[in-house]
Structure 1
Amino acid sequence: MLDLAEFYAHGGRVAAAARAFGGDDWIDLSTGIAPWPYPHGAIDPGYDRLPEPGELAALEAAAARAFGVADPARVIAVPGTDLALRLLAVILNAERPAVVWPGYTGHVAAWPEARAVAALADPGDADLLVLSSPANPDGVVTPSERLIALTQHRTVVVDEAYADPAPGLCARASDRLIVLRSFGKFHGLPGLRLGFVIAGGGVTAALRQLLGDWPVSSAAIRIGAAAYADRAFAADQAGRIDTIGALLDRALAGWQMIGHAPLFRLIEAGDAHALFRHLCRHAILTRPFADRRERLRIGLPLDGTALSRLTTALAEYHR
């Protein structure tokens, strides 16, 4: 039987799935990324010149406004939050880190020595706590009051990759409460590799020192700045997410829903690895888990055609 190890850590392994299962015209529901990308074709990516400092500042200011942060100096553009996690591990230098688990595997990769704690559990003597809110993969939202209280005895890193378009915790970020935001998930452009760290002056100064003068590409700066200024797109995108999400819920009505966020759903399916393989044979990629074989995460389909293919494949599995 095919080893699924390649599909556990992250979504988006379409090429690997195609090699393993054959087929073409794959539907990728494995990533929790909006399938409607921000329309950027008319924006000059600026590949023929280095990014200007003023352009980077404009991007961070646009992101700050979108996040509800009054001081744009507290918002730092990074080439994806996955790298930011690893840089924060160097800057924060925790002695007793803890990571909420089940959770994002990138948190464990950045702090491999961390102790695993359950969501909403007491982290004990941990001097650093890392978690997602909404959580990945179950969508649990940790109340802001709880997170603020946790900072009394430790630094808390909150990954809000799935919090857009809501303001979330960004406005309350500090050197004790560090917030990460992803651009690509909500805006449907994960390949741009753009994210943000929102923190206090101590963390931002150390992070800027590590990142250097050109932390992100000209294309990321220009497309990101345009997208964060485009409130009409944000409203339309939120509407698309809600509409397709409701249709996906209807398609999954025969399964036990155990978690959800706007961009994905988590179901319990008995042997979810068998269901994962079945869907792959229909050229539909979802997200399995190594330690919870009964769970499968499913992202949003692009349109009615993709939803119909998923619904048909699920019905066939039931039969």
Structure 2
Amino acid sequence: MLEHGGNLRDATLRFGRSDWLDLSTGLNPRWYPAPALAGNAWHRLPEASPALAAAAQAYYGAPLMLPVAGTQAAIQALPRLRTPSRVTVAAPSYAEHAHHWRGHGHTLTQTPYADLAAAIASSDVVVVCNPNNPTGATVPPAQLLEWAAQLAARGGWLVVDEAFGDTAQHHSVAAQSGAPGLIVLRSVGKFFGLAGIRLGFVAAHADLLRELADLLGPWTISGPAQQVALAALQDRAWQAATHDYLHREGARLAALLARYGIAASGTPLFQWWAEPRAPAFWQHMAERGVWVRLFREAARGIRLGLPPDEAGWRRLEQALKEWNHHSTD
């Protein structure tokens, strides 16, 4: 399996401590407060909920959506719905995309965001994270829709992973996902901080959603997950307050990093720092109980999420202060 953030058991085994400030995932540290569950939530088979799909369509602005067990389920399944194809995955991005397209007999090319337009003509499938994970880079919706139309004209797909899109809804193309060839992935794990319930949504043409549902089979979303997500998707007051909170805290994180000489960019949920010394920074932070996400490959860098409270902010700043002092000695 590929390495991901949130792997605190690995952190504990490696560094021999358990008092972690976990900034490795990019999740909202103030998760949605789950309501009390109906008494039969653990008893009934979890039939597909029309109310959940309708709430997702209203929240994300999509004409049709299929609930899936996290966007990861769709990422693993979509390559199985196509015959061998020429697939371009924007790079760097969430590594599971390239991993699964490569693993199902497709010809894979990983292409920098700046070169994607030139790759459309020679691709059957193009996969873009928007906003990108881990860099926060975005592609304008008009550009995405132009690419989707070009690909669809010859039976191709544009897959747009909008897992971090809740704080940048103006970049979303979910509203246009009823057209053939455009597939949009959304997640309740990031903005709502509910990664543990394993729930995401796929917006696409009805025919593709039927194929995907048949492949995934029945009862893919637990009853408790459906109940919690329905409440979260309908809670407009919480969403508005959380939107303001994340934008405020995201700006605070960017300013804190800049104060210690770190030129980062990203989204309200995380900051990305492209840095040749990333492994040394990761080691420094881990030794102080601050768990950040290290990217070791060609796009070497660090991704940091938001601290959950003032104690976390103080702990992060102290570690940054010590790094700054060490690196300028």
- Fold match (TM-score > 0.5): yes
Following superposition, the deviation at residue 98 of structure 1 comes to 0.9
Larger deviation, residues 115-124 vs 195-204: 115-124
For residue 3 of structure 1, what is the aligned residue in structure 2? Answer: none
Q: For residue 312 of structure 2, give the secondary structure of its aligned residue in structure 1.
A: helix
Partner of residue 61 from structure 1, selected from 48, 54, 57? 54
Aligned to 1:158: 160
Whether the 8 Å CA contact 1:75–1:199 is kept in 2: the answer is yes
Tell me: CA distance 1:237–1:252, structure 2 relative to 1, closer, same or farther (3 Å).
same
| 1:196 partner SS | strand
CA offsets, 1:243-276, max 9 Å, x none? 2212212220123334301210011444111110
Q: Deviations over 1:190-224 (max 9, x none)?
A: 01100000000221110111122312110111111
Alignment-derived partner of residue 4 in structure 2: 10
Q: Distance in 2 between matches of 1:10 and 1:65?
A: 31
User: Is the partner of 1:24 in helix, strand or coil?
Assistant: coil
How far off is 1:89 after superposition? 0.7
Structure 1: which 4+ aligned runs deviate by more than 4 Å? none
Greater shift, 263-272 or 37-46, is seen at 37-46
TM-score, normalised on structure 2? 0.89
Matched, 1:49 2:44: yes
Instruction: Provide the aligned length of Structure 1 versus Structure 2.
Output: 308
What is the alpha-carbon distance in structure 1 between the residues aligned to residue 190 and residue 25 of structure 2?
Answer: 9
Structure 1 residues without counterparts, runs of 5 or longer: 1-5
Q: Which residue of 2 aligns with 1:149?
A: 146
AA paired with 1:287? R
When structure 1 is superposed on structure 2, of 123-132 and 288-297 the one drifting more is: 288-297
CA contact (8 A) 2:26 2:306 kept: yes
Alpha-carbon distance between aligned partners in 1 of 2:96 and 2:301, rounded to the nearest angstrom: 19
Matched, 1:280 2:286: yes
Instruction: Please report the RMSD computed on the Cα atoms of aligned residues, expressed in angstroms.
Output: 1.7
1:254-299 superposed Cα distances (whole Å, 9 cap, x missing partner): 2333430121001144411111011111111101112147511101
The percentage of counterpart residues that share the same residue type is 35
Match status 1:116 vs 2:121:
no
Partner of 1:185, secondary structure, is coil
In the alignment, is the contact (CA less than 8 A) between 1:33 and 1:299 conserved in 2? Answer: yes
Inter-CA distance 288–175: structure 2 relative to 1 (3 Å threshold): same
The offset of 1:26, in angstroms, is 0.7
CA distance in 1 between counterparts of 2:252 and 2:220 reads: 39
Cα offsets for 1:131-164 (capped at 9, x unmatched)? 1000111111111111111121331000000001
Q: Does 1:198 align with 2:195?
A: no
Kindly report which structure 2 residues correspond to 1:176-187, keeping only aligned pairs within 5 A, or say none. 176-187=181-192
Change in Cα spacing, 1:290 to 1:314, as seen in structure 2 (3 Å) is same
Contact 2:254/2:264 (<8 A) preserved: no
Q: Which runs of 5+ in 2 are unaligned?
A: none
SS in 2 for 1:150: helix
**What is the distance in 1 between the residues matched to 2:247 and 2:135?**
17
Q: C-alpha distance in 2, partners of 1:301/1:149? A: 38
Q: 1:236 offset after TM fit, Å?
A: 1.3
Q: Give the conservation status (yes or no) of the 8 Å contact 2:257–2:264.
A: no
Asked if the contact 2:279–2:296 (Cα under 8 Å) also holds between the matched residues in 1, the reply is no
Q: Which amino acid in structure 2 is aligned with residue 126 of structure 1? A: S
The separation in 1 between residues aligned to 2:299 and 2:176, in whole angstroms, is: 37
After TM superposition, list the pairs within 5 Å mapping 1:168-247 onto structure 2: 168-173=172-177, 174-247=179-252
1:44 Cα deviation after fit: 3.3
Instruction: State which of 68, 87, 96 in structure 1 corresponds to 2:86.
Output: 96
- In structure 2, the partner of 1:255 is 261
Q: Distance in 1 between matches of 2:324 and 2:299?
A: 18
CA distance in 2, matches of 1:269, 1:18: 25
Does residue 134 of the first structure (1) align with residue 131 of the second (2)?
A: yes
Contact 1:120 1:142 in 2 (8 A): no
2:60 maps to amino acid: F
Q: Secondary structure at the match of 1:267?
A: strand
Q: Equivalent residue for 1:301?
A: 307
Single out whichever of 157-166 and 249-258 deviates more from structure 2.
249-258
DSSP-derived class of the 1:207 partner: helix
Deviates more, 1:258-267 or 1:30-39: 258-267
Residue 28 (structure 1) aligned with residue 22 (structure 2): yes
Distance 2:112 2:251 in 1: 29
Do the aligned partners of residues 16 and 219 (structure 1) sit closer, same or farther apart at CA in structure 2, a change above 3 Å counting? same
